[in-house]
Structure 1
Amino acid sequence: MIKRRLLEFGVICLVLTWVPWGVLGVLGVDPDEGAGSLVFALAASGPSLAALVMWLRYRERRRVVRWSLVWPVAAVVLGVLPPLVATAVMGNLPTLPDHAASVISGAGGVLGAAAYTFLAGPVSEEFGWRGYVQPRLREYFGPLGTTVVLGAAWGVWHLPLYFLNGTGQHDDGLFTQEGLTFFLELFPLTFVMLFVSERLRGGVPAAILLHAAWNLTEELVPPLGQGVWVELLVLTAVAAAVLPSWTAVRRDRRVAA
């Protein structure tokens, strides 16, 4: 039953996202202006909308979030760290304030930047990826298996953006270092999100917060250039650093048994 529902979620998600994006691409509509921006935003919410459809249809039980100060702090720190360290390694910290001020101004101020950061990606996706798909994959796979499957699905979902003129992915290009590192980063990022949402029991809110912290930092720091490889390395190191926590959990469960 779980496999069938995951497949059903996938079909709904791709229809809600890829069809509108495809129409925008065929018609040559700018996704940043007018009706095009509205269609683009709704399509980008495909994962969360698909999760809503599934929850309404099957009335499935939602996961409980453990409210504490641990996972919010962890989510923000783990999301900010890789882009910020890469910026420091590339020697771009002195230019960060001016670049960040320019980005915030272009977004309509601090509130505008914060609202866009949370809605565009975190809220529009995470109820689907971390709220619906992740816990169901965990019925079959361990943390690493779930990471591989969900990271790959997350990457495939993004593919049309590289062919849609007016998106950041289209500007970066698919067969470039930015395109390659984007897809590679999804795997350690998926694992870190699994850590804060499941291991720390922050659930979807933790995933949203980490996703938002990552996206906002990526926008505020100057373009990384070759630093994208440093960012990937740091993110992978972060994922490796939290990996032993899963071993500890399994060991404690064996002792308890």
Structure 2
Amino acid sequence: MPVAPEDLPLHATARALLAFLALTFAITWGVIGSYIFLSAEMTARFGQISGSHPLFFLATWAPAIAGFTVVLFSAGLGGLRRFLSRLLIWHCPVSWWGFILLVIPLVFMAGSLIKGGPLLAPMPPEGVGATVSVMFMMLLLGPIEEFGWRGVAQPLLQRHVAPFWAGVLIGAIWGIWHLPAFYLTGVVFAQWSFLPFFIGNISLAVLVTPIFNAARGSLLLPMLFHWQLINPFWPDAQPWDTWILVGVAALVVWWKREKMFTRAGAVTEVVPGEARP
């Protein structure tokens, strides 16, 4: 009978975390690396890669695929169903809902204004309908990653370290995981600098940590948070949005310092309903 991750000893949960990371990087770096080092062959066989290419979706879904694999292996189909029930957790302090729905967009708008850009992203020639379509397509990209990052990695790490350090570690790993995309033509990352993006990833992972814990392991809120980061209505504010986010993250960490630097109250369940270690 499968054993849920919560029932495993710490050395076993560490192996589960390593397995998750190994599979995540193998899928993403394998796909993106093939397009970098075997560009002509991959393009000839599968077509030019872009943000809407099926293989780009596969590379983006790697954390979710790895997360599902770890849960299935550890807890079986029943455990996977309970894992997915975390999508239905929406209770959270109103302040965090406001942060996701209002503060995140304001960060992008402020960053864009600082660099002399527009308040909202310019509409494409096809009109607002095309942007709305892209916005909903984005639901199937970045937010799906959260099945892995906050679904599996965050609670496993919080068994070992305080939430702040779990956020920093996931943010650093998240940033490095994106690195090959910066050498890939045809996607937005090729237009950005890696260092501000890497720092931004750490800031974002730290910012979503108190939301995740306040919502008791919800997958819904981190997914909504992630969706706001790639919402096509918000303007491209790189690198100023990063520096603003660093300041916001510092304020949030100070505000929630009692919970960020202690494991008391930190979510450690991957599969709901199981005993904690």
TM-score (norm 1): 0.80
Change (3 A) 1:248 1:168: closer
Q: 1:78 to 1:224 in 2, by over 3 A?
A: closer
Whether 2:247 is the aligned partner of 1:237: answer yes
* CA drift at 1:248: 5.9
Counterpart CA distance in 2 for 1:20 and 1:113 is 23
What residue is the counterpart of 1:79 in the other structure?
104
How far, CA to CA, are the matches of 2:49 and 2:99 in structure 1? 34
Deviation of residue 194 (structure 1)?
Answer: 0.8
Using a 3 Å threshold, how does the CA distance of structure 1 residues 54 and 100 change in structure 2: closer, same or farther?
same
The 5 Å alignment of 1:209-224 reads 209-216=224-231, 219-224=232-237
1:207 aligns with 2:218: no
Distance 1:246 1:143 in 2: 10
Rounded Cα–Cα distance in structure 1 between residues aligned with 2:166 and 2:237: 29
Q: Distance in 1 between matches of 2:139 and 2:24?
A: 20
SS at match of 1:139: coil
Q: Kindly state the Cα deviation for residue 203 of structure 1 after the two structures are TM-superposed.
A: 1.8
Cα distance in 2 for partners of 1:103, 1:156 equals 35
Q: What percentage of residue pairs aligned between the two structures are identical?
A: 25
Q: What is residue 45 of structure 1 aligned with on the other side?
A: 61
Residue number in structure 2 paired with 1:175: none
- Residues 93-108 of structure 1 aligned to structure 2 (within 5 Å): 95-97=118-120, 99-102=121-124, 105=127, 108=130
Deviation at 1:144, TM superposition (A): 2.1
Alpha-carbon distance change, 150 to 249 in structure 1, aligned in 2, over 3 angstroms: closer
Could you say which residue in structure 1 is the equivalent of 2:14? 3
Alpha-carbon offset, residue 202 of structure 1: 6.1
Q: Relative to 1, partners in 2 of residues 1:167 and 1:199: Cα closer, same or farther, differing over 3 Å?
A: same
Q: 1:31 aligns with which of 26, 31, 49?
A: 49
How far 1:68 moved relative to its partner? 4.7
Shift in CA distance, 119/104, structure 1 to aligned 2, threshold 3 Å: farther
Residue among 196, 207, 225 paired with 1:181: 196
Structure 1's 142 and 78: CA in aligned 2 closer, same or farther, altered over 3 A? Answer: farther
Aligned 8 A contact 2:183 2:190 in 1 = yes
TM-score normalised to structure 2 length: 0.75
> Which runs of no fewer than 5 residues in structure 2 stay unpaired?
1-11, 266-277
Q: Which runs of 5+ in 1 are unaligned?
A: 173-177
Is 1:117 matched with 2:138?
yes
CA contact (8 A) 2:164 2:260 kept: no
Aligned-partner Cα distance in 2 for 1:69–1:248: 15
* Contact kept in structure 2, 1:44 and 1:121, CA below 8 Å: yes
Equivalent pairs, count: 236
Give me the CA root mean square deviation. 2.8
User: In 2 relative to 1, CA 236–250 (structure 1 residues): closer, same or farther, beyond 3 Å?
Assistant: closer
1:158, CA displacement in angstroms? 0.5
Q: Which amino acid aligns with 2:206?
A: F
Contact 1:96 1:220 in 2 (8 A): no
- State how 1:52-67 maps to structure 2 within 5 Å: 52-59=68-75, 62=83, 65-67=89-91
